[in-house]
Amino acid sequence: MKIFSQPYRFIAQYLFICLVITSTESQQSQYKYFNYTESTLGAPPLVADIKTYDDGTLLVHIIRNDSTQSTVDCLNIQGMSLEQKLYVRIIHSNGSVKEINPNLNLHPKTQNNNTNILHNIINPISIYPLQKPFILVTYVNTTNSSNITAYDEWAAVIHWNGSILSTMYLGAWMNSTIQPNINKKLGFLRFDSDQSYWRWRQYLVDDSGNLVSGDKTRINTTDSMTLYRYSNSPITTMSTVDNGYIIVAVFNGTDNSDSLLPRGGLYAFFIPYDNNYPGTSNNNNYKGTDIYQISQPNMTISSVYCDTTDIFMICVVSIHSNITMDYRYVSIFFDSSGMVRSRKVLYDLPNVTGLSQQSWSTKILPFGGFILGLTVYNNTDNNTYYYIYAYDVNNSQIPLNSSEPFLTNYFGANAITNNNTFLLASPYAIDNISWSLLTIPVPTGNIHNIDYGYDNTLVNQTIPSINSVNSSTTTLNITFVYKIALSTGNITIYKASDHSIRQRISATMQEFCKIDGNTISIKILSHTINEHGEQYFVEMDNNFVRRVQPNEPLKGIHYGIWILSPDNSVNQNIYSDAIMGSVRLTTDASKSFLKRNQSAYIEYINALFDEIADKVPMHRSRLSTNYRFEVFNGQIAIPIRIDMARNKTERSSPEVFSDLNNMIAYKNITTFSSGMTNDLDQDYGFKLIEIIRNYGNDYKVHIITGFMIFIIFYLTLKFKSKIFEAISSAILGLSVFILTVLFVIYYSGDVPELYCPRGFKYSFIGEFYKENLILIAILTIILAPIDYEFLTILKYAPIFPIFTKRIYRYEEINRLNIHEDIFEVATKCGAIVDIIKNSLQIYIQVSKYIIVMSRVMFIKNIKEARH
């Protein structure tokens, strides 16, 4: 016999009041119903099971009662004909309902089985929440429906869209238990037993919905060390805050002759989470301890119910006296090490005439305390009622708003949510195709624990608080009730719109986590909360921190509770300049990159940029490159240009640069740790190419010297000497020619797009000159007079002075005037041509200068990163 309930969040029920399709008042006006009408006509539906996700999303298993079905298609139980179909309904926190009808191969004779105890029905089809958007469904198939020992248990993983992702045979259905992990992403444990052995196995469901099983652990039901004989019933299981499991079993002493030895009791087996799949566990992968002992003879344990609360584990055990035939209840509090913190007898039992105390089931409240409940069928009015009584941590009864039982259906399906709300299946319906749930708020079982909206009474406050954060926030602060220490869990910040991870920090990262007494401070990077109009969720794993005394793991904050809504301030720096930088691939990624051809590496870079833009996030059009990569020490460096923001809601180019650099440098805690962005070298980050700033600092002496020379030339022109002007032009032209030649010789190899063959090193260039001397001379003579500077020099230069020494002065003047007249028209035309040519040359040279300096800085950054 087992009952287990996980602590779940329950915001939805308060929203249901406003968002339900129809609403009716219960027989007690303070309670509300959630009613839903099925989208398809058919037989009256019944709620057979209720489960919840951590964020308050509900799973409801619906069974249809259809008397028109034949005995081949359905099973007759107490006048009900149950369809051979599976109906699952998802109730979201906003009150909307999604219908899922997966097509499982259900055996008609194993739909349900009647235990004939108080007219309760055991349903061999069970549903469990896994990580979203997956649901675990366990069901029974058999080839011999008349032999219950031949019933086989199967598991299926169902997607929210209704598709069946995977199925797996689990084993014999008899005496089996499924226990989901407290962390829904970590799968579940399956336990089964017989008279000789216990067996358990851990299962994982991967991100694609595939079931993966670990090794099976088997132990003998007789312990050779303690001489305990473990019963195969009642047994209960629970999941612990540190992601492990506990199996609590009844044991009987094998030696009843000595009154000093225990006659029986409860033994807890602690099973750690095994994250090695396929399983690598062994038969000793557990520890155990006594948590309760019976010292008196003629006493037996009839039922056990256990679960995890905010601080400790609680078990409520029913003890039967074989002499007085009385039933007593004892609550047991123990920690993760197995140390029992308290044992208390429940004296204030419900006093309901005609009801056996043995039949009370227990659900543990997430804030401490528990509920005693009982489903009873009334033969007089043919209705089924549910009795509920709440108790605090001191076993004192907590008054509810109503002391009367509540009407329910045959199954009496119920669940407890994270905010201490009790859900109960109700028979109330507007018509034959609707069903309803009753919500019953339960006071906290520990008056010293107050929930401040985090579904965790141990969290006192957070900074920033729920629904508020500044975009410039760099720290998250969480204050607990107790002094804390770091443990092993994670804290994760998600983007609400697509549930993508913005930052994930482990408690082992001391660079990001600091503790001061009761408060932990978590450093967040600038890129984490960076999108205008977006919301973010902070999720803190269980066992992220531990209570200092005792050394006990604490519960975290579930996804969807701590909401951060940034201030949507507009970008005041929208017109900042574009930024040029570079990223570098890892060694392995570079090796793979170099194997690609040109079209393949261009496709790779485009796909990489697509992923970067999606993860930063930023508009893809703001990222560009010239596809000219560099290789240094076997690693590829790729230049990247970030254009200015397109509007005031986008981040400026300097902010995007900072975001991208952080996401690469800290990629192990961001989404850059997966996909193509994982190819980026985090030791390199995103290097900024600052052309003007860097070269202004490195070459300021050269710039000042050049500026002074320019001033000297400018002042000399004030003398208005045409001869000096011609000489100055010749000097400047020669300087340009020499510098250009030097650049081609020494630097053109670093910039392939400016590279030209160098005749000083290649013999075929010299041979070309030798073979074409006449052609080169003709081209030189034709092109030289076109140059404006050459014409200017020729205009004022003396012609053949050796032959004109004896010419009289007036003849020299006439000769100069003739030269001026001859070249005047050519000079003017050449000046016009030069203006056009120089304008184009200035544009081309400035563009090339930017490219050259970008490439030089690009190479410099790579070399610096290499050293």
Q: How far apart are alpha carbons 8 and 57 in whole angstroms?
A: 9
Higher pLDDT among residues 676 and 468, named by residue = 676
Q: Which of 638, 666, 498 is nearest to 581 (CA)?
A: 638
* 700 domain residue, yes or no: no
- Specify the higher pLDDT residue, 736 or 499: 499
* Element holding 824 (H helix, E strand): helix 809-866
What distance in Å separates the CA atoms of residue 680 and residue 661, rounded to the nearest whole number?
11
With a cut of 80, say whether residue 225 has pLDDT above it.
Answer: no
Asked whether residue 664 is assigned to any structural domain, the reply reads: yes
Q: Which residue has the higher pLDDT, 282 or 708?
A: 708
CATH number of the structural domain spanning residue 382: 2.130.10
Last residue of a domain, one of 406, 441, 476: 441
pLDDT at 469: 76
**8 A C-beta contact, residue 174 and residue 153:** no
The CATH number assigned to the domain holding 483 equals 2.60.40.1220
Q: Look at residue 147 in the predicted model and tell me its pLDDT.
A: 81
Nearest to 309 by CA among 128, 488, 458: 458
The average confidence (pLDDT) of the chain is 78
Say if residue 584 is in the same domain as residue 560: no
Query: Which pair of tokens denotes residue 403?
Result: 């002391």
Nearest to 562 by CA among 475, 496, 517, 484: 496
Q: Per mean pLDDT, which range of 32-36, 467-471, 592-596, 852-856 is the poorest?
A: 852-856
Together in a domain, 398 and 464:
no
Examine residue 712 and state whether it is found in any structural domain, yes or no: no
The dihedral formed by the CA atoms of 351, 355, 356 and 357, expressed in degrees to the nearest 10: -30
pLDDT score for 56 = 83
- Which of residues 833 and 83 earns the better pLDDT score? 83
Angle made by CA atoms 481, 484, 489, in degrees to the nearest 5: 110
Q: CA of 718: how far to CAs of 704, 709, 714, 715, 724, in Å?
A: 22, 15, 7, 5, 11
CA distance 701 to 707: 10
Torsion over CA of 825, 828, 834 and 836, rounded to 10 degrees? -110
C-alpha pair distances (Å), 826 with each of 107, 521, 780, 788: 104, 79, 17, 8
Q: Are residues 547 and 666 in the same domain?
A: no
Burial of 689 (0-12, 13-18, 19+ CB in 10 A): buried
CA atoms within 13 Å, Cβ hemisphere of 679: 22
Estimate to the nearest angstrom the gap between the alpha carbon of 691 and the chain centroid.
Answer: 38
Comparing CA positions, the residue from 549, 397, 547, 416 lying closest to residue 487 is 547
Higher pLDDT, 220 or 109: 220
Closest by CA position to 411, among listed 135, 114, 816, 821: 114
Q: List residues bridging with 839 in a β-sheet.
A: none
- Residue 128 — very low, low, confident or very high, per pLDDT cuts 50/70/90? very high
Q: Determine the pLDDT at residue 302.
A: 87
pLDDT, residue 414, reads 94
Residues 180 and 39 in one domain: yes
Domain boundary among 564, 594, 611: 564
Q: Which domain holds residue 335?
A: 12-441
Q: Does residue 716 lie in a domain region?
A: no
d(C-alpha 129, C-alpha 50), whole Å: 10
Residue 653 domain-assigned? Answer: yes
Token duo for residue 31: 């309670």
Q: Give the burial string for 121-152 (b: 16+ CB within 10 Å, else e).
A: bebbbbbbbbbbebbbbbbbbbeeeeeeeebb
For 146-253, strand residue ranges (E) read: 152-159, 164-172, 176-180, 188-193, 197-205, 211-213, 217-220, 228-239, 245-253
Q: What does the pLDDT look like over 388-405, one tens digit per residue?
A: 999 998 899 988 877 789
Quick one: DSSP state of residue 366? T
Task: Mark whether 226 and 303 lie in a shared domain.
Answer: yes
Contact 248, 306 (CB under 8 A): yes
User: Which pLDDT does position 573 carry in this prediction?
Assistant: 62
Structure tokens at 368: 């401490």
3-class SS of residue 264 = strand
Same-domain pairing of 97 and 138: yes
How far is the C-alpha of 459 from the C-alpha of 557, rounded, in Å?
9
What average pLDDT does the segment 580-608 reach?
A: 92
DSSP string, 467-519: T-B-TT--EEEEEESS-EEE-S-EEEEEETTT--EEEEEETT-TTTEEEETTE
Within-domain flag for 706? no
Helix (H) or strand (E) holding 631, with range, is strand 630-632
Residue type, 807: I
Of the ranges 303-312, 700-709, 818-827, 841-850, which is most confident? 303-312
Q: Which of 386, 406, 441 is the last residue of a domain?
A: 441
What pLDDT sits at residue 2?
41
Q: What is the pLDDT of residue 274?
A: 77
pLDDT confidence of residue 28: 45
Claim to verify: residue 106 and residue 192 sit in the same structural domain = yes
Given a cut of 50, is residue 370 above it in pLDDT? yes
Q: How far apart are CA 352 and CA 358, in angstroms?
A: 12
- State the number of CA atoms in the 13 A half-sphere of 776 facing the CB: 9
239 vs 749: CA distance, rounded Å: 66
Whole-angstrom Cα distance, residue 641 to residue 858? 12
**What is the three-class DSSP state of 736?**
helix
Helix H or strand E segment including 75: strand 74-77
Residue 654: is the preceding peptide bond cis (ω within 30°)? Answer: no
Per-residue model confidence (pLDDT) at position 621:
93
Burial 770-789 (b: 16+ CB within 10 A, else e): eeeeeeeeeeeeeeeeebbe
pLDDT, tens only, 441-481: 888 777 667 888 888 889 999 999 988 877 778 899 999 99
Closest among 304, 339, 300 to 320, alpha carbons compared: 300
Give the distance from CA 2 to its chain's centroid.
Answer: 34
pLDDT above 70 covers a percentage of the chain that reads 70
CA distance 21 to 96: 9
Alpha-carbon span 313 to 244, nearest angstrom:
13
pLDDT higher at 418 or 344:
344
Q: What is the pLDDT of residues 651-673, one digit of tens each?
A: 888 889 999 999 999 999 999 99
Q: What is the per-residue pLDDT for 29?
A: 47
- 182 and 41 housed in the same domain: yes
State whether 292 and 367 are in the same domain: yes
CA distances to 14, 55, 412, 438 from 32, in Å: 9, 21, 17, 6
Q: Which helix (H) or strand (E) holds 655?
A: helix 653-665
Question: With contact defined as beta carbons under 8 Å apart, do 296 and 328 qualify?
Answer: no
Axis-axis angle for helices 722-746, 788-796 (nearest 10): 140
Other C-beta atoms within 10 Å of 625: how many?
18
Distance of CA 50 to the CA centre of its chain: 27
Residue 47 lies in a domain: yes
Residues 190 and 144 in one domain: yes
Q: Is there a domain that residue 530 lies in?
A: yes
Strand, helix or coil for residue 788: helix
- Give the count of domains, the chain: 4
674 and 734 both lie in a single domain: no
Beta strands 121-122 and 87-91 are unpaired
Closest of 399, 396, 393, 371 to residue 310, by C-alpha? 393
Of the ranges 74-83, 582-591, 655-664, 681-690, which one carries the lowest mean pLDDT score? 74-83
On whether both 752 and 614 belong to a single domain, the answer is no
With a cut of 90, say whether residue 264 has pLDDT above it.
no
814 token code pair: 């006439």
Dihedral (Cα; 849, 850, 854, 856), 10-degree rounding: 10
Q: CA neighbours within 13 Å on the CB side: how many for 734?
A: 6
Q: What torsion, rounded to 10 degrees, do the Cα atoms 321, 325, 331, 336 define?
A: 50
Residue 58 has pLDDT above 70, yes or no: yes
* Strands 421-426 and 434-441, bridge-based pairing: antiparallel
Residue 249 has pLDDT above 60, yes or no: yes
| CA dist., res. 388 & res. 398, Å (int) | 11
